[in-house]
Structure 1
Amino acid sequence: MTSSSTIEAAERDTRGSDFARLSRRISEAGLLERRPGYYTLRLSLVGGLFAAGWILFAAVGDSWYQIPVAVLLALAFAQLALVAHDLAHRQVFRSRRTSEIAGWIAGNLGIGMSYGWWMDKHTRHHANPNHEDHDPDVSPNVIVWSTGQASVAKGFARLIGRYQAFLFFPLLTLEGLNLHASSFRALRRPSLKHRGLEGTLLVAHFVLYFAAVFAVLPLGKGLVFIALHQAIFGVYLGCTFAPNHKGMPMLTGDDRPDFLRRQVLTSRDVRGGMVVDIALGGLNYQIEHHLFPSMPTPNLRLAQPIVRDYCAELDIPYLECGLYDSYAQALRHMHAASAPLRAPKAAAEQ
């Protein structure tokens, strides 16, 4: 997540630039103004969905009918994660402290994700999207995102790399667990602020989570419930973020276009209307979000025609496609990126 200071620095650096001229148009349209009414409604609905899921869980009791409840709670967890995303970008509250407190409640206590760890990671992503050396979202820990990464891949990434496009969605079932594990690993980093508070809230989340599940369900059903809940949560999160940058141009070394082009050329927007807007939490307007991270979610749709027309004026490619097409592009890119791992030499080395 790009902090306000990072955004302000970027805007200072680009004063009089192509981005600065676009920024003035957006500002004059009033699209950077807060939307307290929208966020009051959204936070109430998401909080209500989260609470309703657990109330329904208690009401259903010891039954296999808990399976649809697990699905409902997975959706609630993912929507709460999207709220935490907006909080970290300071789209909701003007105050940094208020945003942090709400982020700890939604992230650490609500879904078992370290708000501070994810905020740091996402800030670095926003500063250098799709840059192999600087964007943590394209580090080759599990998936390789370029032929260069594939050529030097080791460990798990090399093991699955040849088939990664086919394994991508199955692997997303583990994304929720990876998020939890990464959050606890981050507590060892001295650079993580408020480690004591974040750790306490993470532990509280899992104590309450397991206590609730096993107070209602016996061991076998409880484990099935947890597995299904976490798997769907992971798939939903992955499907929310995958359409945005995967399959878009990768940057390496000294590749560093100006701010406007760096954000537009590495991102894509996803069409789909209100259903997609709600399901993806507004992140389907990824180009606009990357250009103006603190812009309230409902304003991204309004900013889109301004940004799209401005890109056309400057002859900057602006990509928008349907949801399924975005996944297809991402999978084709992953398959192409892993080509070196399917070469005879690579197979012989294994």
Structure 2
Amino acid sequence: MSGLAFDLTGAEVLRPDGLDRGTLSFADGVIADAPVGRAVDLGGFLVLPGIVDLHGDGFERHLAPRRGAMTDMGEGIVATEAELAANGITTGVLAQFLSWEGGLRGGAHAEGVFAAIREVRGALATTLLPQLRLETHLLEEYATLPERLIDWGVEFVVFNDHLPHDRLAAGRRPPSLTGQALKAGRSPEAHLALLQELHARGPEVPAALDALCGRLAAQGVRMGSHDDHTAEDRAAWAARGATIAEFPETEVAARAARADGGGVVLGAPNVVRGGSHKGNASARALVAQGLCDALASDYHYPSPRRAALALAGEMGLAAAWALVSSGPARLLGLDDRGSLTPGQRADIVVLEAATGRVAGTLAGGRFTHLGGDLAERFLG
């Protein structure tokens, strides 16, 4: 926690029930209920809860911008935190694959990523949480995975199945086979043989997943599914204890997740661009139907802020911003953040009222991003 103590005055402050111009005070990293320190006039700015990003893939390029170019992954994590902070994110889930795709999504790289997060995150103000995205057909990984998660410090697992089953069942080569093989360091023939083998073991997967999820649940691991398409998909995952539905592809799957009590995470880029880039359900439409608990950055860190501001005109800023703050915090079990109420962490993002751009970010009362006119207000 930080020893900084400030009373922020003059700004529009987003409380759980809406905006007001009352003073927001914080000291020692916590929101206070009375003035505590030096007053800073933030007229012309919006003060909002820090963004909690429940799923982010955008960090990959910081860790491996080119093959072999980045040998210190810890430096990549530090660069990632700077990007998160510049986009108002105070808690970020870093989603790393363990996949048959190999390369940056292979086991050796995943182990390096988790080691780097574990090494540096204690020195950073932004809360960084690792997530493992596990390809369901990697059955050989199941036996030792629970123990490895403990070693890696990973308490959040999401299950994916990106095998091109239709093509493989029809005996056809997937269109991206050669590129995938080169990234994985395999010949196209060896890569195809691997995919065919994994596809053939499909009947073994459900029972193996049941057993694995039981072990992970007993270990206290939070679990989710990814890209559910049908109500049956969601029901199967709910029965295994995977309570979070990431990016359901259809309204039917999103409704099923809501019906079984699961949390629904949608892509903020989907909202910003006006629809799914893959032709799936519109996140904006699902939000309008009340079928969303959290908006995540997915592959683009500026999108949570932009999506919430875009939705504010339709549902009000408090409800829209909750989709990137208190909503994801609740799904992650983080009850100490997500709103600007006394006793909560001083996770704060300051936006220029005129443009909606991020002017400053504080995580636990510590500045992680500060620039322009806002810096002059605090330092001048």
Q: TM-score, normalised by structure 1?
A: 0.25
**Is the helix fraction higher in 1 or 2?**
1
Q: Could you say which structure has the greater relative contact order, defined with CA pairs below 8 angstroms and 6 or more residues apart?
A: 1
Q: Report the structure, 1 or 2, having the larger strand content.
A: 2
Q: Normalization by structure 2: what TM-score?
A: 0.24
